A and B are shown apart, each in its own frame.
Chain A
Amino acid sequence: MTDSSLLRIDGLSVDYSHRGGSAAPAVSELDLVVHPGSMTAVVGESGSGKSTTANALIGLLPSSARVAAGRIRLGEVDLLSLGTSGWRGVRGSQIGYVPQDPGSSLNPLQTVGKSVAEALRIHRRAGRAEARAQVIELLDRVGIDQPEKRADQFPHELSGGMRQRVLIAAAIALRPRLLIADEPTSALDVTVQKQVLDLLDELRAETGMGILFITHDLAVAGERADEVVVMQGGRIVESGPAGRVFSDPATDYTTRLIADAPALQTKARSVRAEATTESTDPFVSVESLTHVFDRTDDRITGIEGVDFTVARGTTHGLVGESGSGKTTTGKALTGFLTPQSGHVRIGDFDAAELGRGRPSRQRLREFRRTVQLVHQNPFSALDPKHSIRSTLTEPLRNFRLGDRASRPRLVTEAMDRVALPADFLDRRPAELSGGQLQRVAIARALIVEPELVVFDEAVSALDVTVQAQILTLLDELQRELGLTYVFITHDLAVVRQIADTVSVMSHGHLVDDGATEEIFTRPRSAYTRTLLEAIPRPATLSVASAPANNRPATPTLLTAAAES
């Protein structure tokens, strides 16, 4: 067999030995190939073994892990036979590594120039002056403006996207043949993600290096990779050319992943006629809401002049990237922050006034009952010391709802409403999964029969399949109880699934506002357009308008954006 491959993994198995002796295989019988100049993506949830695979490739498995079987060949070199010094020769010069979190992956006390030069210095490829020249060339290559100036800056002075470029520059300094990118864009905003992915594409086209791309994001894999390997529980579920895997998934698991992924979602929210008709008297009305923490140059931290309205019984999506001010808006809505100016009218309350004047305890209590907040991270939103029963009973007691006899029934009903079994009631938060905890948090919010529920990134921390379930649940509850939702998220695709109306925020300002479908099909602001364009879309899906397969045709966000 003629082998044009750059990296070839055959039957790799990795065990973690615990002191007890029982070895749970983290990776078993993995086969994988990366060709020069191409990208192979390994996709899977955490615990699927994808990161273990990456660590095995650069010989950085934790000491409790052991390669039980298999071969890893980089060109002619058998990587698994290398000793400590052999590995040192390969790392950096043959294999480059780009880590997940640009925030913690650069030495905070060292200028970025020195970080980029590190590989050159370690492998003694350049002296001090020579290294400097190369560093500037590299920084320039990865698209950093003013490379001379940037080289002398420290990581905390650069943005996340810039740091990731620096890390890429450092990884390619010695022109390695293979680049391992371990979730390189997961910590980045979607527009920055696009730029970094574009850079990786250019680099491999230019230098012919192969890239092994580890990701949890099916859409990114589908858009960029030549080959896709889907992993679950340490095993390969499916592998093949990206186009084939997406257009014709061979396994149920992959099919489900594609179906549950919001970005690849087929259906938009069913429009509710009565909800979208312009209500003369909106339930929530935010008027010139302003709360500025800090102002530098023309940028503000906080929010300024935010206006939007939400009709009773509908869902309003509040979308923006990190630092857009969406969380601050959410806090003002729920009365946890008293804005510097502006009004937040909810029913007959003004949340902005509650904090300013001295409202009666009774009034504040009524407001808290009317408006409930569901936090982003279900693991921190529930007191670890209290059982689920105690957590759900607490609001009933505080608001004097029901009595000693009826409360257990109310609690059981609340659990039933979020489809959790009643025997969870005596468990503690640590014994529940993230999805279950978020259901409990939703049950706690709904048990006081609020009228408005604000969700702050409430599904962002959840697995796609769980995310889909929660969104369906929320939809049902809204119909059943006539609730009004404000849904804060960075994820446009989620918004499209759940929201009737949308506001897009950027740097503390509201840049776009309107009915969801309208925003998606005819974005008014340039920023919204950039956001929509940055959403990764698998190539096969974007041309799927031709019904080439038996899956339902997929009008994706690309087609949505293209229509504009």
Chain B
Amino acid sequence: MSIVFTRGQGTETRRARGGRARAALSPATIVSALVLLIAVAWALAPGLFTHFDPNDGGDTPALLAPSLEHWFGTDQTGRDAFTRVVYGASQSLLAALVAVGVGLIVGTTIGLIAGTRRGLIDDVLMRLIDVLLSIPAILLSLSIVVVLGFGTINAAIAVGVTAIAQFARLARSQAVQISTSDFVAAAYGSGGTFFSVLARHILPNSISPVLSLAVLQVGSAILQISTLGFLGYGTPPPTPEWGLIIAEGRNFVATAWWLTVLPGLVVMAIVLTTHQIGNTLRKVTS
């Protein structure tokens, strides 16, 4: 009775792909990728970027202002501040990866089980996630740090636990959404069993938003870990860690601004780049 034309969806999709490719290559993303690459290189091979010792200032004068020799100046014991930031990358990035790893693995597993099994298991798991979510993140991570003891990895685990809830909820919603889709019904119709459909269709299709969230979470994990470090519950001194570096510089806030401002800018820039890349990934994959 009605004469219906199709939408030219095939071409639209192709066009959208072109658009996504462009989004992936925008100048902001390229700059972000470069910054992040440098940060990773700092963490892997700090010696390539600086020839100073991060923990021993030797006979260098203390609290030197930034110069060509000492880009970020020197701290109260004459250590090169830039060197400490470079060496701090390994602690901070490692901790961030551990934190996101904990959240991603535990959270996604919980979410997928809840979303595909449904029923009682779903209800119980999701109420537990509600509990996890209702305790403010900082208090949860502080409580865990108190139990586990201070240190880089312990702080990372504490931060990771706070991320579980987000991953679990996202993974569950994805699993629910995908498992009610037509193509999953069709897969069952094609003789698929629960596990074959889960492995072939549900998992591959629900995982990409979860991974984008993981990249976005790297940034906030860096922030939370540096906060714990700043409060003195993370990496013990004298090992450089970004939060700790800023905490130490804080005592000289009136006389040596560079000891806080410049490391803080580095942290901010790196968090910003992970956000940019996470958002780009999300646009490309969705």
Contacts and interface: CB of A to CB of B under 8 A. Distances in A.
Contacts of B149: none
B200 A433 contact: no
Nearest to A47: B8
Interface string B179-216: 00111011111111100100011001100000000000
Contacts of B3: 216-219, 257, 260-264, 464
B1 A430 contact: no
Contact of A383 (B7, B17, B183): B183
Contacts of A216: 3-5
A289 B253 CA distance: 79
Interface stretch (A206-214, A235-243, A305-313, A374-382): A374-382
Given A219-B1, A257-B3, A262-B1, A375 B9 contact: no
B2 A466 contact: no
B182 A398 contact: no
A373 B189 contact: yes
B14 interface: yes
Contact of B189 (A47, A372, A383, A463): A372
Contacts of B22: 19
A385 interface: yes
B58 interface: no
Contacts of A151: none
Nearest to B190: A395
Given A46-B8, A434-B7, A219 B186 contact: no
Contacts of A444: 186, 190
Contacts of B190: 368, 394-395, 398-399, 444, 448
Interface string A524-538: 000000000001100
Nearest to A218: B3
Nearest to B5: A45
A368 B191 contact: yes
B13 interface: yes
B4 A557 contact: no
B205 A434 contact: no
B57 to A, nearest CB: 52
Q: Is the interface of B mostly helix, strand, loop or mixed?
A: helix
Contacts of A186: 2
A407 interface: no
A260 B9 CA distance: 21
Contacts of A369: 191
Contact of A434 (B9, B185, B186, B200): B9
Contacts of A290: none
A464 B1 CA distance: 11
B1 A190 contact: yes
B171 to A, nearest CB: 17
B191 A461 contact: no
Contacts of B13: 430-431
Interface string A324-365: 000000000010100000000000000000000000000001
Interface in A527-556: 535-536
A379 B1 contact: no
A399 B196 CA distance: 13
B210 to A, nearest CB: 15
A432 B10 contact: yes
Given A369-B191, A434-B10, A448-B191, A461 B4 contact: yes
A89 interface: no
Contacts of B255: none
Nearest to B16: A430
A460 B4 contact: yes
B134 interface: no
A264 B183 CA distance: 33
Contact of B1 (A373, A377, A436, A557): A557
A19 B21 CA distance: 14
A44 B189 CA distance: 37
Interface string A410-425: 0000000000000000
A375 B7 contact: no
Contacts of B2: 186, 190, 217, 219-220, 263, 491, 536
Contacts of A217: 2-4
Contacts of B67: none
Contacts of B6: 45-46, 433-435, 461-463, 466
Contacts of B5: 44-46, 216, 463-464
A375 B1 contact: no
Contacts of B196: 398
Contacts of B8: 46-47, 433
A435 B13 CA distance: 15
A441 interface: yes
Contacts of B187: 383, 394
Given A375-B182, A382-B183, A395 B4 contact: no
Interface in A416-469: 430-436, 441, 444-445, 448, 460-464, 466-467
Contacts of B189: 334, 336, 368, 372-373, 445
A383 B4 contact: no
B1 to A, nearest CB: 4
Contacts of B14: 430-431
Contacts of A260: 3
Given A46-B6, A463-B5, A464-B5, 19 more contacts: A46-B7, A46-B8, A219-B3, A220-B2, A262-B1, A262-B3, A373-B189, A375-B182, A375-B186, A379-B9, A380-B182, A381-B183, A398-B192, A399-B191, A463-B6, A464-B3, A491-B1, A536-B1, A557-B1
The 8 closest A-B pairs by CB, nearest first: A45-B5, A398-B191, A395-B190, A463-B6, A433-B10, A261-B3, A381-B182, A535-B1
Interface of A: 19, 44-47, 186, 190, 216-220, 257, 260-264, 334, 336, 365, 368-369, 372-373, 375-377, 379-386, 394-395, 398-399, 430-436, 441, 444-445, 448, 460-464, 466-467, 491-493, 535-536, 557
16 contacts: A45-B6, A47-B7, A186-B2, A216-B5, A217-B4, A260-B3, A263-B1, A334-B189, A381-B186, A383-B205, A398-B190, A398-B192, A430-B14, A434-B6, A435-B6, A441-B186
